[in-house]
Each structure stands twice: as structure tokens, then as C-alpha cells.
């Protein structure tokens, strides 16, 4: 399976914030979910992939081509959707069809009209009359109608109702079904990524904590729950992170079956992506570190 997108040792620093180094690959036919709290560096990462920001270091390759040398050609094959519709409110989908056919070499009026029908978007209604969900579906239709091989989405399902979100997720799964297309989907809606992502990358305070197959996270990771006295007797090296509250300690393990054998008196639940993100971001990170 070919690698569609590769980031190698990518870094970028601002005043008060540093991103990286970020290393990740997105294979063909895969959806990679990028999670992290607000300000973790998700949008910055997407802007670096697009070449909209200069990197301090590292390398980005898309379709095996160096972004620095072939950015204009690469962008023709990349579709982008941000969390806000950027089209003028007086436009209609029919207007956009005409405009973008003169911008993208691979623009397909037939595909755009098919997508609009599928997403129930009236071609001649002005965008100012669209709901937020309709505007986001229009953004996705535009991003896909020039037949890109890679889609980059930044919080594209944020604020959408469950029905519209499900429509969008189905469209993304259809997009990667031939294994020649890929999606990098930045989102804080972990439920969406649990449904469709093949891999999950987690950014925390600008640092890439892990890139794992989603199924590994959902079927092997676990949350150990116990009292504070019981936790004080445990080996913190068994845990990636832990968090104490008034009633109990919750600790993240990457092998819940092994943890269940070692700590049979504890409750150990499967870990969802939200559990993992909360324990990393609000808890104490482990792997043998001493607790304060």
C-alpha cells in the first residue's frame, strides 16, 4: 500500500508554542484521525502540510513528491475543508461549479452535481440561505469535485447535527474505498473518529504522543479504576497516564488484559479515544516516572 502523505521530523515554533517533531504517514485507502485539545497544534500541522506555513525543519512529501519543490502540482490533488464555509454568501452551488471549473484542471461538473444531489444541496439556492450543515456539505462537495487523492479536514463535522455528520462520514468512507485515496481528519469529536478512522494520532501541547491503529487503541487499551490506597501499591511503569479525583484513580494501560491479570481486583474498562485524550491531557504521564 503506497504512502500518500509523509511527515518526517516536522517542526515549527511560535512565540510561546512549539510544534514537533511530528512524524507520521498516511497510507493509501486510510483515514487518519488527528486528535488533541484546542491549541495542541492540529490546525498548524494541516497548514504546514498545505505549505501555508513555513516549517522550521523536517520534510513533507505528498504522493512521494517533495512539498517544497512541487507544491503547485501537489495542491491540484489535495482537497481541503476547514470548519467554516469560505464561499461568498451571494453565490450558489451553480456559480461555484462554473468558477472552480476554471481553477482546477481536474474539476468535474458531473461529479460536483452528483455530490450535490447526494448531499441534497440545491444548485441554484444562494449560500446565505443554507444552514451550517448545508454549508459544510457544500465545502466537502467542492473539495472532492476536483478528484483529489488526499483530503485534509479541520473540524469539518464540528457543530453539525448527527444526521448531517453521518452523511459526511459515509462520504469519507466511500472516498477511501478504492485504497488509492486517503483522508487526514483533524477533529475533537472522538466519536466520529471511532467510527471511521483507521489510525489515530494524538497531539498534546505540540508534541506527538502516539500514532496507533484505531483498533489497537479501542480493543487493547484500558482504563484501570481503583482507590487511592490501592493505586499507591501499583507499579506506575504499567501505565501511560493516570488521574486522581475525589473518589478514585483512573489509569491508562495499553494492555488491559495484562493489567487485569496483574491487578485482578480492579475494574478495567475499555478505553475510548476521549478517555485516552483526557488522561493524557489532564493526568500525570507515566512510564516509570515518579509521582509528585
Residue 290 within a domain:
no
Query: Using one digit for the tens of pLDDT, what is the confidence trace for 79-117?
Result: 999 888 889 999 999 999 999 999 999 999 999 999 999
DSSP 264-281: TTSEEEEPPHHHHHHHHH
Q: Are residues 187 and 242 in the same domain?
A: no
Q: Which three cell numbers stand for residue 142?
A: 467542492
Q: Are residues 57 and 95 in the same domain?
A: yes
Per the structure, the count of domains in the chain is 2
Q: Are residues 209 and 108 in the same domain?
A: yes
Mean of pLDDT values over 18-42: 95
CATH code of the domain covering residue 11: 3.40.50.300
By three-state DSSP, how is residue 146 classified?
coil
* DSSP-H helix ranges across the chain: 42-50, 67-76, 93-101, 109-118, 132-145, 162-175, 190-196, 214-220, 228-232, 256-262, 273-282
Q: What is the mean pLDDT of the chain?
A: 92
Query: Using one digit for the tens of pLDDT, what is the confidence trace for 171-205?
Result: 999 999 988 999 999 998 899 999 999 999 999 99
Checking if the pLDDT of 168 tops 70, the result is yes
Q: Are residues 191 and 239 in the same domain?
A: no
Q: Are residues 246 and 209 in the same domain?
A: no
> Last residue of some domain: 215, 239, 261?
215
Question: Contact 212/199 with Cβ under 8 angstroms?
Answer: yes
> Last residue of some domain: 164, 194, 215?
215
Pairing of strands 78-81, 150-154: parallel
pLDDT category of residue 287 using cuts at 50, 70 and 90: low
DSSP 129: G
Mean of pLDDT values over 3-16: 95
Give the C-alpha separation, 78 to 243, whole Å. Answer: 40
Q: Are residues 250 and 184 in the same domain?
A: no
Give the model's pLDDT for residue 289.
39
Q: Which domain holds residue 51?
A: 3-215
pTM: 0.91
**Pick from 24, 6, 10: which is nearest to 200 by CA?**
24
Q: Are residues 127 and 170 in the same domain?
A: yes
Query: Using one digit for the tens of pLDDT, what is the confidence trace for 134-164?
Result: 999 999 999 999 999 999 999 888 878 888 8
CA 285 to chain centre: 22
Q: Are residues 66 and 107 in the same domain?
A: yes
> Last residue of some domain: 160, 187, 215?
215
Amino acid at each position: 500500500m503506497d504512502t500518500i502523505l509523509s511527515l518526517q521530523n516536522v517542526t515549527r515554533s511560535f512565540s510561546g508554542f512549539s510544534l514537533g517533531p511530528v512524524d507520521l504517514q498516511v497510507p493509501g485507502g486510510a483515514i487518519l484521525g488527528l486528535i488533541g485539545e484546542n491549541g495542541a497544534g492540529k490546525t498548524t500541522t494541516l497548514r504546514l502540510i498545505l505549505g501555508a506555513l513555513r516549517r522550521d525543519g523536517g520534510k513533507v512529501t505528498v504522493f512521494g513528491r517533495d512539498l517544497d519543490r512541487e507544491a503547485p502540482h501537489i495542491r491540484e490533488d489535495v482537497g481541503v475543508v476547514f470548519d467554516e464555509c469560505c464561499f461568498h454568501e451571494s453565490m450558489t452551488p451553480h456559480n461555484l461549479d462554473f468558477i472552480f471549473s476554471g481553477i482546477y484542471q481536474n474539476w468535474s461538473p458531473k461529479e460536483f452535481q452528483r455530490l450535490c444531489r447526494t448531499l441534497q444541496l440545491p444548485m441554484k439556492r444562494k449560500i446565505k440561505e443554507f444552514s451550517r450543515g448545508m454549508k459544510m456539505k457544500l465545502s466537502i462537495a467542492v473539495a472532492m469535485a476536483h478528484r483529489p487523492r488526499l483530503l485534509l479536514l479541520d473540524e469539518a463535522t464540528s457543530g453539525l447535527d448527527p444526521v448531517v455528520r453521518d452523511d459526511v462520514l459515509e462520504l469519507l468512507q466511500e472516498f477511501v474505498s478504492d485504497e488509492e485515496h486517503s483522508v487526514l481528519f483533524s477533529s475533537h469529536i472522538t466519536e466520529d473518529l471511532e467510527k471511521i478512522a483507521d489510525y489515530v494520532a494524538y497531539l498534546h501541547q505540540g508534541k506527538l504522543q502516539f500514532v496507533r491503529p484505531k483498533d489497537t487503541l479501542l480493543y487493547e487499551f484500558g482504563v484501570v479504576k481503583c482507590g487511592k490506597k490501592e493505586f499507591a501499591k501499583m507499579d506506575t511503569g504499567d501505565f501511560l497516564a493516570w488521574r486522581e479525583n475525589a473518589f478514585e484513580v483512573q489509569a491508562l494501560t495499553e494492555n488491559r488484559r495484562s493489567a487485569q491479570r496483574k491487578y485482578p481486583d480492579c475494574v478495567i474498562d475499555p478505553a475510548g479515544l476521549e478517555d485516552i485524550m483526557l488522561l493524557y491531557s489532564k493526568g500525570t504521564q507515566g512510564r516509570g516516572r515518579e509521582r509528585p
